[in-house]
């Protein structure tokens, strides 16, 4: 478990009760399966996230807006959703979402999609697709700072705090 990542994410909202005992990530073997199923490369900050809290965040995140912890979402549904977004988004600017192995990580306000280009020069950079404007832009966030933003804005403002055992699954069908 990457305790530095967890401390960093928790530091923006230190009064949030979390439970390290519930936090669960994926093994290296499972990471290989995720790479194969989703056709992505898992490294750097995405690796740290997935191996530390990719399955269960111990209360740091709920099921919105991150895709990792969605209730009722099946693995098959996740894979089909990822493929559809890669193929259906406009092929604009210099981004080839399939070639650069995009991994969509969240959707905000129903029209703002955030993703990583896992096979790029900067696999930690978060990109934003604005469905209203049909534009893709690199944000100022890397993954860990985007996750910290989610804790500060979404988790902080949930009317009901996420349960410690809020979890999701990327590989077990």
Task: Render pLDDT for 126-139 as a digit per residue (tens, 0 to 9).
Answer: 999 999 998 899 99
Order of all β-strands in the sheet with 135-142: 102-108, 112-117, 125-130, 135-142
**Cα separation, 153 vs 74, whole angstroms:** 26
**Cα separation, 3 vs 111, whole angstroms:** 33
* DSSP sequence for 98-123: TTTTEEEEEEETTTEEEEEESSSS-T
Query: Domain segments of the chain: what residues?
Result: 3-157
Q: Compute the half-sphere exposure of residue 36: CA atoms within 13 Å on the CB side of its CA.
A: 7
For residues 53 and 60, the answer to whether their CB atoms sit within 8 Å is: yes
Rg (CA), the chain: 15
pTM over 0.75: yes
- Topology adopted by domain 3-157: SMI1/KNR4-like (3.40.1580)
pLDDT grade for 95, boundaries at 50, 70 and 90: confident
Task: Render pLDDT for 37-85 as a digit per residue (tens, 0 to 9).
Answer: 999 999 999 999 999 999 999 999 988 899 998 776 788 888 888 988 8
């Amino acid at each position: 478990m990457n305790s530095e990542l967890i401390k960093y994410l928790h530091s923006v909202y230190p009064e949030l009760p979390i439970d390290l005992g519930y936090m669960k990530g994926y093994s290296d073997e499972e990471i290989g399966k995720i790479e194969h199923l989703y056709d992505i490369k898992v490294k750097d900050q995405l690796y740290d996230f997935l191996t530390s809290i990719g399955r269960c965040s111990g209360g740091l995140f709920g099921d919105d807006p991150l895709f990792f912890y969605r209730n009722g979402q099946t693995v098959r549904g996740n894979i089909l959703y990822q493929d559809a977004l890669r193929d259906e988004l406009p092929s604009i600017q210099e981004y080839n979402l399939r070639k650069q192995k995009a991994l969509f990580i969240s959707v905000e306000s129903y029209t703002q999609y955030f993703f990583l280009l896992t096979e790029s020069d900067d696999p930690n950079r978060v990109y934003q697709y604005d469905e209203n404007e049909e534009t893709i832009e690199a944000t100022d966030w890397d993954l860990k700072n985007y996750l910290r933003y989610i804790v500060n804005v979404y988790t902080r403002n949930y009317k009901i705090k996420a349960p410690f055992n809020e979890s999701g699954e990327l590989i077990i069908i």
